[in-house]
Chains A and B, each alone.
Chain A
Amino acid sequence: MKRLTPRAVALAVAAPVGALVFAALVCVVILLITGHSPADTVEAMISSAKRPRTSVIALNNATNYYLAAVAVAIGFRMNLFNIGVDGQYRLAAMLSAALAGASFMEGLPSFLRIAMTMIAAMLVGALWAGLAGFLKVTRGVSEVISTIMLNAIATALVAFLLNPRRLAILEGNDIRTPPITEGGWVPNIPYPGTNSEIHGLILVAALVGFLYWFVLARTRFGFELRATGLSESAAVASGVSVKKMVFLSMLLSGAVAGLVGMPELLGGAHAYSLNFPPGIGFIGIAVALLGRNHPLGIAFAAVLWGVLDASSNGLDVAGVPKEIVVIMQGVIVLSVVVAYELVRRYRVRLEQREVGRALGTTKPLEEVSA
């Protein structure tokens, strides 16, 4: 796509770094106002982040966030706002957990069990997102509205199905799907200095990131998707079926969303229970924004989010409310959106000026000063 000149890299980095610095300053001010020491806070977070266990938790969080953010980013590239990643991954995790824990799966080879679980999750996610896509294409329903509603429906559906009379079992005080036996687990990666392990499915997240890049940058389908996102009218005039693209990209987004719960399900909890981590879909929106829908940018953003979340646990010890991290994340998202737009405009003007300079015309200069 764009060539990697030093200036292009500097411009790409300027916005997120600027937003981070701004968010840090806002947090310092809030800490000072509430009578906490910023230095102590930073120290507590750093000492927490240094612990190997925190690193593992951060990476595992980041894996989930990354998958959710890629799911959101697929929509973003088409100007589609899939807010429904949250409902998609929870429903997908719940149903695929029920499948993976079913007794008939026991006899199957491990690889097949894992593959079946993940494919089931992707199908459920795609189906749930596809409903929104179908409504948009056939009835013109805004995907923002329909995915929000589908989130609520997914919550109710999961609560309905997660019942001992249906897909769940009662274990002590906890209601969960039948636990997956060891043959259906994905092996984890040990990390020196801690018992906690990195989810093996982090590799799947990396693969998804690579495929996301490859499909968008290197395939005809990806080109048509990007073209639709950049200018729907130009895409239509160029023979792109926008309805087909909307439906397909919602299916893809939902399929990736279906994978969001898999690292936790197959590498950690081994069952879907009331304690299954919620809200990852919404974090994915923030991470996709911060990562500028770019596979590497999203990776950095996901790791940052994971580290912030994981190290916030050390704050309670230092007597600082850990909600300061949530404030910081919120400010980052708000400021990064502004910063990206500023950088985008600057980049366009810079390029126009350069073209003008190279050709010796005055037109771009007039536009700049206008």
Chain B
Amino acid sequence: MSTESASPANAVELTGITKRFPGVIANADVNIAVRPGTVHAIVGENGAGKSTLMKILYGMQRPDEGTIAVDGAVVEFHSPADAIKAGIGMVHQHFMLADNLTVLENVVLGSEPRSRGGLDFATARAKILDISSNYGLGVEPDRLVDELGVGERQRVEILKVLYRGARTLILDEPTAVLVPQEVDELFGNLRELKAEGLTILFISHKLDEVLSVADDITVVRRGTTVASVRPGDVTARQLAELMVGSALPVPELRDSTVTDEAVLDVAGLTVRTGDGRIVLDDLSFTIHAGEVLGIAGVEGNGQAELVEALMGIRSPSAGTLTLGGKVINRMSTKHRREAGMAYIPEDRHRQGLLLEASLWENRILGHQTRRPNVRGPLLDIGGARADTQRIVDEYDVRTPSIEVAATALSGGNQQKLIVGREMSGDPVVLLASHPTRGVDVGAQAAIWEHIRRARANRLAVLMISADLDELIGMSDRLAVILRGRLVSYFDPKAVTPQELGSAMTGATGEAER
């Protein structure tokens, strides 16, 4: 019950919720009070226990201890049906819509309106249009879901929940699948819902979004609620530190270690797609020993093609690649790797790992021609195991054993394994595509530190990232790629994320040329 007598009862109040799974405590003593008519954000790192908590609130799991109160009355949910009856609805991260049905059919699916033995679509259509216009959702009931974009599908999911009478909506990572414009639209919808008196529980780990849309924020860490704050009172950094429980790592380089020894030289690199479209247009740059060259750019401007061309996965139609004074244009990927090129791929599941193979087999991957993994044509399994254990220890890969399959590890630990592997065998140049994407801040700090250390040992690094703070903090030089061309260079010490951002979209980049 709310202690403020003037305000109405909390829309949802969780008190002392604890949930144990065999061997693990997923939630411990969670307390959350959600005021009606607000957007309440639940933030926390991956694995902090946010999703379990929401499943408890939605009746998918039952708490071992603690109570749930809706509008001041204590309730007990045995299934999502109970939660829906109490006015709680959930919009899942992965949409649950049938593509070949219309919006109308999807919305009524499972709670079809009946009249005289048949389905009463007219009433349903009227109700949907009514909800849609009330909350500004702009949903057209007769379109096929198949034709809808991601943002529209999400609005259909929201409408589905509202159709069932929900007064409190749980949105599980709703922005994960959206592009920035769609995120803005979603936030607009959320504000309208809020204005109509609905309550929204917004689960996220994107802090800037949370700060812009939420009225209250509850921080979850290691399964328990550690803080409740108002967005006006905290900065994104403070919020992040609450999430992690310690001071955040800062991407920064100390003294310059740049030498004048060119390691990787790219001259006039041009790459075309199979149908002749130019994706990289006459790129030229040099990376020196001990230097990090950061590449900033909106995704899809040629970054993926650049690293693939450098690794020999994609063949360029023109240009010269020189590694340590030797032209490597005709070298295979295998020989480039043997010559000291290391590669942290953008998509670790697609290019970096054999998900169903053990960690030590993944240690061999990409290094299958070199010690300690092989002796002549034979695998040196003992050597590979021992070196995998070294990586696990040095890079703090959290795993019970090196025998487990890579797919069993969390994303951050998979990434640490990849970084550890690629740093093995004394590379001379590292191509790092989004080296800290999707990893938690602890792993992020560790990966940055390893890159810094290798840089001090004269490693040349090409770093591509969507995280501008990372790029600015970790680069000795910054280049902006736009439509397959390097359009401008910046000094990371002098540039602001805003300047970089406008160069990435072409607002200033063209002017400087």
Contact = CB atoms under 8 A, between A and B. Distances in A.
Interface in A120-147: none
Interface in B370-411: 374, 377-379, 381, 398-400, 403-405, 407-410
Interface residues of A, number: 41
Contacts of B404: 351, 354-355
Contact of B407 (A238, A239, A348): A348
Interface stretch (A67-75, A187-195, A266-274, A359-367): A359-367
A241 B312 CA distance: 11
A7 interface: no
B403 A359 contact: no
Interface stretch (A11-19, A49-57, A221-229): A221-229
Interface string A239-251: 1110000000000
Contacts of B26: 362, 365-366
Contacts of B351: 233-234, 236-237
B343 A237 contact: yes
A241 B365 contact: no
Interface in B423-468: none
Interface in B218-239: 223
Given A233-B351, A234-B352, A237-B343, A364 B408 contact: yes
Nearest to A361: B47
B175 interface: no
B378 A219 contact: yes
Contacts of A231: 350, 353-355
Contacts of A237: 311, 313, 333, 343, 345, 351-352, 366
Contacts of B334: 238-241
B47 A362 contact: yes
Given A234-B351, A348-B405, A348-B408, A359 B398 contact: yes
A358 B400 contact: yes
Contact of B374 (A220, A352, A354, A361): A220
Contacts of A221: 377
A238 B379 contact: no
B24 A230 contact: no
B379 A223 contact: yes
Residues of A contacting B: mostly? helix
A166 interface: no
Contact of A224 (B368, B381, B399): B368
B432 to A, nearest CB: 14
Contacts of A364: 408
Given A220-B369, A236-B313, A238-B365, A363 B410 contact: yes
Nearest to A230: B354
Contact-residue size bin, chain B (C-beta under 8 Å from the other chain): 35 or more
B205 interface: no
B46 interface: yes
Contact of A366 (B51, B343, B399): B51
B105 interface: no
A230 B408 contact: no
Nearest to B409: A355
Given A220-B369, A239-B333, A361 B410 contact: yes
A352 B24 contact: no
A1 B357 CA distance: 9
B52 A354 contact: no
Nearest to B345: A237
A223 B407 contact: no
A360 B24 contact: yes
B23 interface: yes
Contact of A359 (B48, B377, B400): B400
Contacts of B23: 357, 360
A352 B400 contact: no
A126 B352 CA distance: 33
A354 B399 CA distance: 10
Contact of A352 (B358, B369, B379, B407): B407
A165 interface: no
Given A2-B358, A223-B361, A355-B400, A236 B378 contact: no
Interface string A53-82: 000000000000000000000000000000
Interface string A336-348: 0000000000001
B483 interface: no
A362 B30 CA distance: 15
Contacts of B361: 1, 223
Interface in B24-77: 24, 26, 46-49, 51-52, 55, 60-61
A173 interface: no
Interface of B: 21-24, 26, 46-49, 51-52, 55, 60-61, 223, 311-313, 332-338, 343, 345, 350-358, 361, 364-369, 374, 377-379, 381, 398-400, 403-405, 407-410
7 contacts: A217-B379, A226-B357, A230-B357, A231-B353, A234-B352, A239-B336, A357-B23
Interface of A: 1-3, 217-224, 226-227, 230-231, 233-234, 236-241, 348, 351-352, 354-366, 369-370
Closest 8 pairs (CB-CB, A-B): A239-B334, A358-B400, A238-B366, A237-B351, A363-B47, A239-B333, A357-B23, A362-B26
